[in-house]
Structure 1
């Protein structure tokens, strides 16, 4: 039997841009937590650390889709070079300002400019799409990318915090910035796999105006809520059970479950329509949030968390597959970035909501946020089945291709 993953890497240049893209995306998991670890040690104030990190995260969530929109219009290299350069320099200023105890306002200004960091997962997926558009190998490529995202989240946050604590406060942000600079440079230099800039038919619009992008992005906001809730509630429950050190292991199990199933799904060539696959995946997520409400031991929590993670990668794979099918090629990078942004926004909101629930009603009740979020996500994709089954909706039909 042919290994589908080996097959996708036979494409010229695939190994190079995939490896560079993996390094360049490590900052996604490292920068925000690295800022918190850095400033909490140097300034001793968690509110400041959280505020600066939130400034970076929220601004990046707003700017990244605009950068991707320009990438679709002018190409990856003309946008990635200045955007990455500004971000790297801003992170350098942030580290210097922290070390030299510059005025607090300089930390926020540096975080604002650092937020020009592009969405590297979107750039990598755009290259896979350029190679395998309309072919079954694209599903395998998206599965690989989802698995790579899981590895980033498994390793990135722990590495950032570990470096800051064991070496010096700025170490996590420094490592992350170096990954961004080196990975992005290696990625940009590989010009032969860069997607072709495709002209629009009719007036150029924004991907977020397309109904499928709106539906998928909204649904994945609540998937992001589930991610954050799993982390916050796990930390609270393990602490309540007297085993706070087990939190990182349990959270790692969550990502491992998603990684394993994602790899398996990527090797399959499923014939079911993608919009139905998305319903099933989110339905599984909804069902598997229920056991989390009754766990009362760390082993039971780890098992329930593992089960809750099994449908995460399939959800990502089908979501990005739908974006590739339902968004015009000239808007693809922006479309993917909006979905990634939805996840980030959901994680920020989920951390706040679950934290409030845990503080108000107790650690165990934090998982009710996951239950509610999964129901909203499921209802969203159920109601949006017709729009997801079509190439585009009527108001933007002029810029979409023919129906399948």
Structure 2
């Protein structure tokens, strides 16, 4: 059986832009925790560190879709290059403000400027879509990128904290900025694979991609999935601490990502032909069922790791099918923005999930934090189940063609 991943990377330019994107999106995982690690050490105030990190996160959640909308309209290089420069300079300003103990308002201003970070995850998926539009290889490419995202979130956060602890407080954020500049420059320099700018069709949808029903449904579902992801981290940390083995949290969180990473690669190799909206519903069904053992897995680190590994296997398949649906249901002229909204949904879900899970842990105990995962997985399933007809629709870019086909 031929290797499907070897096939997608045999396309001219695929290895180059994918490798550059891997480096360029490390800041997505490194920046939030890196800001906390840096400011908590230099200023000694966790509330301020958290508030600055939240400013960056919320700012990026709002700005990234707007930047991606401009990318769709004017091209990746013309928009992402200046946005990256602004973000990198703001990161450097934040590092300097932290090191020199400048007034707090400068930290918040710099964090907001750094939030202009473009969505590298969306831009790399746009390039894969250009190579394999309406071909089965696209699912394999999305599977690879979703698995890479899982790996990046774990390694990026660990690298950022590890550098700050081992070297000096600003080390993680300096590395984050370096990866942003080098990765983005290498990615944008590869003009041969950059998607062309496509004008919206005269009879197609206009405005923002978030106005499209499929984007709304998938984004809402992935807000709940992001909450599941964050809950696993918060609850695992709390349970391992209660068990007297706080170091076990790293193992538990690591196997959570590992389960999702492995199954994501397997799904991309198999490349099932079932309609994507049904695949998404099945993945969420598995996610909902595998969240239940978490409620009784707090007696040991080993049992917790096993339950968390099981609950993580459906995360990457959920991401893969969600991005596949966006590619098929959103016009090509809105694709980067559509993907970015979904990525934003995941980030919002992680932030809300961490907050709610933290409150549940503080109020009802560490083990009960996983009830957030149970409720969130059920909410994601209901969202997608109710949206099956909408998600099964024809590509939004060609409503006239769809109408013609229905009339035959």
Displacement of 1:402: 2.9
Runs of 4+, deviation exceeding 2 Å? 396-404
Displacement of 1:153: 1.2
Instruction: Report what 1:362 is aligned to.
Output: 365
Instruction: Report what 2:191 is aligned to.
Output: 191
After TM superposition, the structure 1 = structure 2 runs for residues 2-401 of structure 1, keeping only pairs within 5 Å, are: 2-202=2-202, 204-295=206-297, 296-391=299-394
After TM superposition, the score normalised by the length of structure 1 is: 0.98
Rounded Cα–Cα distance in structure 2 between residues aligned with 1:291 and 1:204: 45
On the 8 A contact 1:328/1:400 being kept in 2, the answer is no
Which blocks of at least 5 consecutive residues in structure 2 are unaligned? none
Question: How big is the alpha-carbon RMSD for the aligned residues of Structure 1 and Structure 2?
Answer: 1.2
Rounded Cα–Cα distance in structure 1 between residues aligned with 2:400 and 2:133: 16
- CA pair 60-130 structure 1, distance change in 2 beyond 3 A: same
Rounded Cα–Cα distance in structure 1 between residues aligned with 2:99 and 2:43: 10
Displacement of 1:249: 0.9
Displacement of 1:391: 2.3
Other structure's SS at 1:267 match: helix
Question: What are the Cα deviations for residues 311-346 of structure 1, in whole angstroms up to 9, with x where unaligned?
Answer: 111101100110011001000000000000000000
Aligned residue pair count: 401
Rounded Cα–Cα distance in structure 2 between residues aligned with 1:228 and 1:383: 25
On the 8 A contact 1:238/1:298 being kept in 2, the answer is yes
On the 8 A contact 1:328/1:399 being kept in 2, the answer is no
Other structure's SS at 2:272 match: coil
Other structure's SS at 2:196 match: coil
Other structure's SS at 2:270 match: coil
Rounded Cα–Cα distance in structure 1 between residues aligned with 2:272 and 2:220: 25
Question: What are the Cα deviations for residues 170-198 of structure 1, in whole angstroms up to 9, with x where unaligned?
Answer: 00011011000000000010000000111
On the 8 A contact 1:201/1:399 being kept in 2, the answer is no
Rounded Cα–Cα distance in structure 2 between residues aligned with 1:101 and 1:401: 60
Other structure's SS at 2:402 match: coil
Displacement of 1:148: 0.7
